[in-house]
């Protein structure tokens, strides 16, 4: 194994090599071809934010209610929208007209889609840096290419419409600084990221423990005053730059009310495939069983309506006890504490990266009102661990397949659905083949063989799940024409979503159990070796 990063002149060059150019051109062509694709309400959300930040003074940004899509991201993202609104006003002034709701001319489509592609170059630049400082550049090149071409970014950013590629570029930049030993820069970048999108708070505990233990304290536990003050002052400065204008106007409470709307229910409209999706499904099964057998369960009538609706609203269980925000917070905090204790005693880069992934993972599985798009908080950092060894790779495969499949319901029309499925299959095949050869380990015992068979059986089930999801609307439509009452169609309308969520949740939960087991049982001597290499 090469013990020092590649520092040759070729690796230090700032220009793209031919393979990087090929990936950039290919990805750009694909994204441009998707310009006419389906757009979610997030497209209008961001257009409205362009209009808010361009047309209104800063004092009104977090008060405006002209549209239902009010500004609810932290100030740095609002400033980001303000910058994007300036060229938008020259491209087409109607884009930044606050009262021009649901504007969807080709000028705004071309402009907003292009801004996603351009800002995503931050991600591409950081991924190149990962290659040029890697211990194993060929393997890192595969991982970097897979991240830049990740189906999650294609589905969420370039079809559904968001700016995750740009913000994950900042996250990976912060992780890169940690890998390179620039821990102060890593902390500053993460503070910047938090002020772009507060969902990254899920990862904050890992950053706090890692930077405190490895940067602010000496190996003997003595506080490094200089480092502590440098980090504290830098982070405070970032938050002042973000929040100061609103603090001076006395708007912090209003800002927080926009960022943290706690009135939402346990589950999102489409259940994110997490632990609560499984609990909700169990409640539905018990309710169905009680109705069909007359079993004397104490049934909550409000839960009957909630569990049969399948739409946005509070999740009220019919049979099981209801879950409150405090319950989700307590479970998440307990799991993260277990992870962070090991990070405290072994604050290596490898331990940090795994703990970071697990903090996002535990928040995704047990958090309150988790969106399905938050799965990227797991899949992106987990990708950096994929080639560590076979155990990590298998965990990566299971979580990635389940996580990406769980995003398919975001594609509402057949054309985009087919594109998403085919693209994801091709992407996974091109990633799986080279990485599996690098990390393959011969099964050590019969239990390993059995586990391997069970995991492959689960992965093979996604083929049948996709067939079911694709065939169900056709069969339901055919049945509805035979039954004028349409009762069959209405009662089963959300079945494909529920089955998708539950099946993917099984893989996501198993992936978490796998990863936390690997992390807690990782040989500390092996970790120490990795820390010297990284």
pLDDT digits (tens, 9 = 90+) for 468-485: 998 888 787 777 666 655
CB atoms within 10 A of CB 471: 11
State pLDDT tens for residues 128-159: 999 988 889 999 999 999 999 999 999 999 99
How far is residue 360's CA from residue 376's CA, in Å, rounded to a whole number? Answer: 9
Coil, helix or strand for 337? helix
Say what the pLDDT of residue 316 is: 75
**Contact 486/476 with Cβ under 8 angstroms?**
no
Q: What is the mean pLDDT of residues 118-136?
A: 93
pLDDT surpasses 70 at 307? no
pLDDT at 323: 86
pLDDT at 509 over 90: yes
Task: Write the DSSP string, 471-483.
Answer: HHHHHHHHHHHH-
Indicate the DSSP class of residue 104. -
Closest to 24 measured CA to CA, from 124, 164, 112:
124
> What is the rounded distance in angstroms from the CA atom of residue 17 to the CA atom of residue 13?
9
pLDDT tier at 302 (50, 70, 90 boundaries)? low
- Asked whether the predicted pLDDT for residue 12 surpasses 50, the reply is no
The rounded distance, in Å, linking the Cα atoms of 494 and 501 is 11
pLDDT category at 376 given cuts 50, 70, 90 is very high
Is it the case that residue 292 has pLDDT exceeding 80? Answer: no
Rounded mean pLDDT, 446-465: 94
The C-alpha atoms of residue 204 and residue 303 are separated, in whole angstroms, by: 35
What is the predicted pLDDT for the residue at 522?
81
SS3 category, 223: strand
What's the pLDDT at 529?
41
Contact 407, 372 (CB under 8 A): yes
Task: Write b or e for each residue in 42-63: b if 16 or more Cβ atoms lie within 10 A of its Cβ, otherwise e.
Answer: bbbbbbbbbbbbbbeeeeebbe
Least confident range from 198-202, 506-510, 528-532: namely 528-532
What is the average pLDDT score of the chain? 88
Q: What is the mean pLDDT of residues 78-103?
A: 95
Cα angle 265-171-239, degrees, rounded to a multiple of 5: 75
360 or 221: which leads in pLDDT: 360
Those residues whose C-beta lies under 8 Å from the C-beta of residue 51, and which sit 6 or more positions away, are 85, 95, 96, 97, 98, 100
Residue 18 CB-density burial (10 A; 0-12 exposed, 13-18 middle, 19+ buried): exposed
Q: What is the C-alpha separation between 280 and 275, in angstroms, rounded?
A: 9
Mean pLDDT of 359-378: 93
pLDDT score, position 430? 93
- pTM of the shown model: 0.91
| Residue 88 reports pLDDT greater than 60 | yes
CA distance 167 to 51: 21
Residue 225's pLDDT band, with cuts at 50, 70 and 90, is: very high
Which token pair is 271? 């259940």
| Segment (H or E) for 143 | helix 137-148
What are the beta bridge partners of residue 267?
370
Give the contacts of 184 (CB within 8 A, at least 6 positions apart): 215, 227, 230, 231, 234
pLDDT for 252-278, tens place per residue?
A: 999 999 988 666 667 766 678 999 999
Q: Is the pLDDT of residue 6 over 50?
A: no
Buried/exposed code over 140-154 (b: 16+ C-beta within 10 A; e: otherwise): bbbbbbbbbbbbbbb
Q: How confident is the model at residue 2 (pLDDT cuts 50, 70, 90)?
A: very low
Q: How confident is the model at residue 226 (pLDDT cuts 50, 70, 90)?
A: very high
Per-residue pLDDT, averaged over 413-440, amounts to: 92
Q: What residue has token string 């917070």? A: 329
> Could you tell me the two tokens for 41?
């309400």
Do the Cβ atoms of 495 and 438 come closer than 8 Å? no
Mean pLDDT of 18-37: 93
């Amino acid at each position: 194994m090469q013990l020092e990063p590649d520092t040759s002149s070729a690796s230090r060059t700032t220009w793209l090599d031919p393979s990087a150019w090929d990936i950039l051109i290919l990805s750009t062509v694909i994204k441009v071809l998707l310009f006419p694709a389906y757009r979610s309400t997030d497209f209008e959300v961001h257009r409205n934010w362009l209009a808010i930040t361009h047309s209104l003074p800063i004092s009104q940004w977090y008060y405006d209610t002209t549209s239902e899509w009010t500004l609810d991201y932290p100030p740095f993202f609002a400033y980001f929208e303000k910058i994007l609104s300036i060229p938008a006003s020259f491209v087409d002034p109607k884009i930044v007209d606050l009262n021009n709701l649901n504007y969807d001319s080709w000028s705004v489509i071309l402009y907003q889609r292009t801004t996603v592609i351009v800002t995503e170059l931050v991600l591409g630049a950081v991924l190149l840096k990962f290659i040029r400082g890697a211990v194993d550049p060929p393997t890192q090149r595969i991982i970097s290419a897979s991240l830049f071409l990740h189906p999650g970014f294609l589905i969420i950013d370039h079809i559904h419409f968001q700016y995750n590629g740009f913000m994950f570029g900042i996250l990976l930049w912060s992780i890169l600084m940690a890998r390179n030993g620039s821990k102060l820069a890593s902390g500053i970048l993460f503070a910047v990221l938090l002020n772009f999108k507060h969902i990254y708070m899920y990862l904050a505990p890992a950053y706090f423990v890692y930077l405190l233990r490895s940067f602010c304290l000496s190996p003997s536990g003595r506080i490094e005053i200089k480092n502590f003050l440098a980090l504290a002052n830098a982070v405070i400065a970032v938050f002042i730059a973000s929040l100061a204008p609103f603090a001076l106007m006395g708007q912090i409470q209003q800002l927080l009310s926009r960022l943290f709307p706690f009135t939402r229910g346990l589950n999102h409209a489409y259940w994110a495939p997490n632990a609560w999706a499984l609990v909700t499904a169990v409640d539905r099964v018990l309710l169905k069983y009680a109705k069909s057998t007359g079993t004397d369960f104490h049934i909550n009538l409000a839960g009957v309506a909630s569990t049969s609706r399948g739409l946005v609203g509070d999740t009220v269980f019919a049979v099981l006890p209801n879950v409150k925000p405090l319950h989700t917070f307590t479970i998440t905090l307990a799991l993260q504490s277990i992870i962070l204790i090991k990070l405290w005693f072994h604050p290596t880069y490898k331990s940090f990266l795994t703990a970071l992934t697990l903090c996002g993972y535990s928040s995704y599985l047990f958090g309150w009102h988790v969106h399905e798009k938050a799965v990227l908080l797991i899949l992106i950092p987990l990708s950096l661990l994929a080639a560590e060894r076979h155990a990590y790779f298998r965990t990566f495969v299971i979580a990635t397949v389940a996580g990406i499949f769980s995003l398919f319901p975001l594609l509402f029309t057949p054309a985009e659905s087919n594109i998403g499925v085919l693209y994801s299959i091709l992407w996974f095949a091109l990633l799986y083949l080279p990485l599996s050869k690098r990390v393959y380990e011969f099964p050590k015992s019969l239990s390993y063989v059995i586990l391997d068979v069970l995991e492959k059986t689960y992965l093979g089930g996604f083929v049948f799940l996709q067939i079911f999801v694709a065939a169900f609307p056709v069969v339901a439509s055919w049945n509805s024409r035979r039954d004028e009452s349409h009762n069959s169609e209405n009662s089963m309308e959300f079945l494909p979503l529920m089955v998708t969520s539950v099946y993917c949740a099984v893989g996501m939960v198993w992936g978490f159990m796998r990863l936390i087991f690997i992390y807690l049982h990782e040989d500390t001597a092996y970790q120490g070796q990795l820390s010297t290499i990284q």
